[in-house]
Amino acid sequence: MTFSHVLGYPRIGADRELKRAVEAYWQGSLDRDGLESAGRELRARHWAAQREAGLDLVTVGDFAFYDQVLDLSVTLGAVPARFGAEEEIAAGEVGLDTAFRMARGRAPSGEPTAACEMTKYFDTNYHYLVPELHAGQRFRLASSRLFDQVAEAQALGHPVKVSLLGPLTWLWLGKEKGEQSFDRLALLEELLPVYGELLARLGEQGVEWVQLDEPALVQELPTAWQQAYEAAYSVLGRAPVKLLLASYFGGLGDNLNLAVGLPVDGLHIDAVRAPEQLDAVLDRLPGYKVLSVGAIDGRNVWRADLALLRERLASARMRLGRRLWIAPSCSLLHVPVDLTRERDLDPELASWLAFARQKLDETVTLARLLDGRATEVDRRRLEAATEALQARRDSPRIHRPEVADRLAGVEPADHERRSPYGVRAEAQRRALKLPLLPTTTIGSFPQTDAIRAARRALKAGELSRDEYEARMEEEIAYAVARQEALGIDMPVHGEPERNDMVEYFGEQLDGYAFTRFGWVQSYGSRCVKPPVIYGDVSRPGPMTVRWSRYAQSLTDRPMKGMLTGPVTMLQWAFVRDDQPRETTCRQIALALRDEVCDLEAAGIRAIQIDEPALREGLPLRQGEWPAYLAWAVECFRLSAAGVGDETQIHTHMCYSEFNDIIESIAALDADVITIETSRSDMELLDAFREFAYPNEIGPGVYDIHSPNVPDVAWMVALMEKAAERIPVKRLWVNPDCGLKTRRWEEVEPALANMVEAARQLRRRFG
């Protein structure tokens, strides 16, 4: 009998109950017992869903109030000293509030303390808390949370499999801290006994299987790390439990032999992103090992093609017999919870989708189909899937010949501005008449309660479209007047009409759909609701022109139009899986190109195309970077290159690691790029200097993530450092990012100081 299981299930709840409970606890309206019981209830519900679906094991260890990597760090006693948890660690019971303080710097009890760093988990939008590692660090079991949850599931009568991050990926995701330089891999020896103890305790609890997640195995690993896998697992393999080593988010590549050969009882592979590795793994898998095939897409929302999967996996079933397990490719944490809640979604589109709850059913049905023990329900599911997928393949809503034709007609010249930057810069200087070190902002101004209330009223039908638009024009007029008064050289309209920089455009493009409850955890209690790109993308009509034109009518200064770039539009969505991502991105680029040209025709002389997600789209394997960067750059250029020399194209990116992609950044050929720099003390400009970045740069001098008002001298000093690295005539003065999360009371004095700093700098350099 083919076993079915999941690597993890979303914990937020179909109604984001976890978010509500955790936030209520932080605010003091829910006490500790209340929070714990909300957690217990969610776990019970999620385990029940897994059993009701017919999975053979329920997964324990995927729950966390904030982050499962944080919980593991706590369990291992890896709590940085500044949280003052020595006693809690010694007692083996680090408190919940200590964990919350690590996550967000404060909790209902305990001193506020600088939080741990947070970053994206591999190439997902899920953020984990980075383990802080010190030379000579000691570990010890410091929480019994996991054991309690195992007991909880057992008391409910469930067959339990525990899921945990493996020791090497935990170290891989960690960061060396402290004065003394050292290699975090050196901590493995100290770490293994604690893992061993943990596994022994689970064994005592009667747990048969423990899944150790080692997704680092799909990346290029240094030789020392590869060897460490051998050493670590030969120790862990002696634990009194069976180990399932889980790889996901890609193929094992050159780690395949290593992963297959480790002395554990089973291996999980991602057969969605890397279906080609299945045969190689089958050929090498030792006869005693279980192979868990991740056949259902854990990273995307599309319904599985059960008939095709049955066919593809038939030989694996023959070869492995009962040693074959079926699962989604990775934890279902990365997809929304339950499709049946989407009552407003177009039924045809809904029939092409599967969320976490539906993926449980797909997993179970696939396992039973492979065994030849399909029930009536399985047969109906198989048929329904086949029918829906057939309809999807043929649907005129997805395949729009005019979009494909247009893309086929794109020529190399369409990616090129008319003249090189030098010529354009001259033309723009004459047309825009900007001073040395011009000032601008990144696009958004504060999203006030009044703005949000107006948008809600529009959606609720309490405000007419005309009334709403008049309200937005008032906001724009206000923002423009403030910028004129402040003396900003290149104003923006302020984006009051945008709820979100992707949703705003997606809602106006064909091929995009939006769910009502399709929430996915991003970090802590924060969830995002990515749109679904289901079909060929095109632009029925202008999206931003009326706002930009209105804003320009209020001022003689050159108004900067504001768009979200093609790569970011792609990256922050669930993307269709029936054509290469690159093709979808090019379609978006063409739609944006029309918007750029329409803005130019409406008299907008500068247009910013934001690409904050360009860097995070980098593949997990560095060997695949060049191909990605090539098409990402082409898409940006395709969206931008339709305008004349005098029209100034800006782009914006809010992160600070450019070293390894600087060539591609330059290849975008934007006339101006604004970036985040204020917290890195302009050091990141070194990458731009060393590469001799040819175009204009606005290094952010005002950290918008902080409520503090930066003073003039501070910003002058930052720009002086910038001027040591980039010629002054190619520098701009601007904040780090958009101002939508700030209040006007913070923004006005900060921008006044920024403008004053620019004036002082002009006197110095002019």
List of residues contacting ligand GLN (CB under 6 A)? 442-444, 501, 562, 610, 612, 652, 654, 737-738, 740
Q: Residue with CB nearest Zn ion? A: 654
Using CB distances below 5 to 8 A depending on partner kind, what does residue 49 bind out of ligand GLN, Zn ion, none?
none
Give CA torsion, residues 310, 316, 317, 318, to 10 deg.
Answer: 120
E strand segments, 654-714: 672-675, 696-699
Q: Which stretch binds Zn ion (CB under 5 A): 55-63, 233-241, 301-309, 729-737?
A: 729-737
3-class SS at 268? strand
CA distances from 687 to 34, 191, 460, 726, 736 (A): 51, 37, 49, 11, 17
Query: How far apart are alpha carbons 6 and 165 in whole angstroms?
Result: 15
Q: Which stretch binds Zn ion (CB under 5 A): 49-57, 327-335, 589-597, 734-742?
A: 734-742
In this chain, which residue has its C-beta nearest to ligand GLN? Answer: 738
Active site (annotated) includes residue 705? yes
Which one, 282 or 618, has the nearer CB to Zn ion? Answer: 618
Q: How many CB atoms lie within 10 A of CB 459?
A: 11
Which of Zn ion, ligand GLN, none does residue 501 bind to, with CB < 5 to 8 Å depending on kind?
ligand GLN
Residue 490 CB, nearest approach to ligand GLN (Å):
13
Spatial separation of the C-alpha atoms in residues 362 and 358, rounded to whole Å? 6
Binding partner of 562, given Zn ion, ligand GLN, none, CB within 5-8 angstroms per partner class: ligand GLN
Residue 737 binds to Zn ion (criterion: CB under 5 A): yes
Count helices and strands in the chain by DSSP H and E runs: 28, 22
Based on CB atoms, which residue is closest to ligand GLN, 299 or 652? Answer: 652
Calpha distance 370→238 (Å, rounded) = 32
Nearer to ligand GLN, 443 or 558 (CB): 443
- Using only C-alpha atoms, the chain has a radius of gyration, in whole angstroms, of 27
Between 212 and 654, CB nearer to ligand GLN: 654
Among residues 5, 268, 493, 705, the one annotated as catalytic is 705
**In angstroms, what is the minimal distance from the CB of 551 to ligand GLN?**
14
Q: Of 152 and 495, which CB lies nearer to ligand GLN in the complex structure?
A: 495
Report yes or no: 544 and 577 within 8 Å, Cβ to Cβ. no
Least distance in angstroms from the C-beta of 524 to ligand GLN: 19
For residue 32, count other CB atoms closer than 10 A to its CB.
Answer: 13
Nearer to ligand GLN, 298 or 735 (CB): 735
- Are the CB atoms for 513 and 345 separated by under 8 Å? yes
Cβ proximity to ligand GLN: between 309 and 562 the closer is: 562
Which entry of ligand GLN, Zn ion, none binds 266, CB below 5 to 8 A by partner kind?
A: none
Question: What tokens were used for 665?
Answer: 């950044």
Asked whether 669 and 691 are in contact (CB, 8 A), the reply is no
Site for Zn ion in 625-654 (CB under 5 A): 654
CB of 525 to ligand GLN, least distance (A): 20
Q: What is the DSSP letter of 505?
A: H
Q: Which helix (H) or strand (E) holds 292?
A: strand 290-296
Identify which of residues 572 and 688 has a Cβ nearer to ligand GLN in the complex.
Answer: 572
Minimum Å distance from CB 675 to ligand GLN?
A: 10
Rounded CA separation 534/349 (Å) = 8
Q: Which stretch binds Zn ion (CB under 5 A): 374-382, 431-439, 488-496, 612-620?
A: 612-620
Residue 609 touches which of Zn ion, ligand GLN, none (CB < 5 to 8 A by kind)? none
Minimum distance from residue 736 beta carbon to ligand GLN (Å): 9
Residue 604 Cβ vs ligand GLN, minimum distance, rounded to whole Å: 15
Nearer to ligand GLN, 319 or 705 (CB): 705
Report the alpha-carbon distance of residue 663 to residue 88 in Å, rounded. Answer: 49
Query: Minimum CB separation from ligand GLN for residue 186, in Å?
Result: 38
What is the DSSP secondary-structure string of 605-674? -EEEEE-TTTGGGS-SSGGGHHHHHHHHHHHHHHHHTTS-TTSEEEEEE--S--GGGHHHHHHT--SEEE
List beta partners, residue 246: 213, 268
Least CB distance from residue 138 to ligand GLN, whole Å?
Answer: 40
> Can you read off the two tokens belonging to residue 706?
């902080």
The CA distances from residue 329 to 223, 325, 719, 722, in Å, are 26, 12, 48, 46
In Å, how far are 453, 528, 718, 731 from 724, measured between CA atoms? 46, 40, 10, 11
For residue 149, give Cα distances in angstroms to 94, 113, 212. Answer: 16, 29, 17
Least Å distance between CB 641 and ligand GLN?
Answer: 21
State the minimum distance, in angstroms, from the CB of residue 438 to ligand GLN. 17
Which entry of ligand GLN, Zn ion, none binds 511, CB below 5 to 8 A by partner kind?
none
- Nearest of 71, 73, 52 to residue 61 by alpha carbon: 71
What is the spatial distance between Cα 647 and Cα 639, in angstroms, rounded to a whole number? 14
Q: Which two three-digit tokens encode residue 455?
A: 């948008």
The rounded Cα 506 to chain-centroid distance in angstroms is 17
Burial label, 728 (beta-carbon count in 10 A; 0-12, 13-18, 19+)? middle
Nearer residue to Zn ion within complex by CB, 566 or 612:
612
User: Closest by alpha carbon to 162, among 177, 143, 147?
Assistant: 147
- With a CB cutoff of 8 Å and minimum separation 6, the contacts of 628 are 617, 618, 619
Q: Residue 415 or residue 740: which is nearer to ligand GLN going by CB? A: 740
Cα 238 to its chain centre, rounded Å, is 37
Q: In what order do the strands lie in the sheet with 3-4?
A: 3-4, 324-328, 290-296, 266-270, 242-246, 209-213, 160-165, 58-60
443 binds, among ligand GLN, Zn ion, none (CB under 5 to 8 A by kind): ligand GLN
DSSP 3-state of 239: coil
Smallest separation (angstroms) from ligand GLN to the CB of 595: 14
> Which is closer to ligand GLN, CB of 42 or CB of 501?
501
CA gap 605, 596 in Å, rounded: 10
Cβ–Cβ under 8 Å, residues 97 and 104: no
Paired with 531 in beta bridges are none
**Other residues' Cβ atoms within 10 Å of the Cβ of residue 714:** 15
- Return the number of the residue (425 or 614) whose C-beta is nearest ligand GLN: 614
CB of 632 to ligand GLN, least distance (A): 16
Residue 138 carries which DSSP code? -
Stretch that binds Zn ion, among 7-15, 95-103, 387-395, 610-618 (CB under 5 A): 610-618
Binding residues vs Zn ion (CB under 5 A):
612, 654, 737
The catalytic residues are: 705
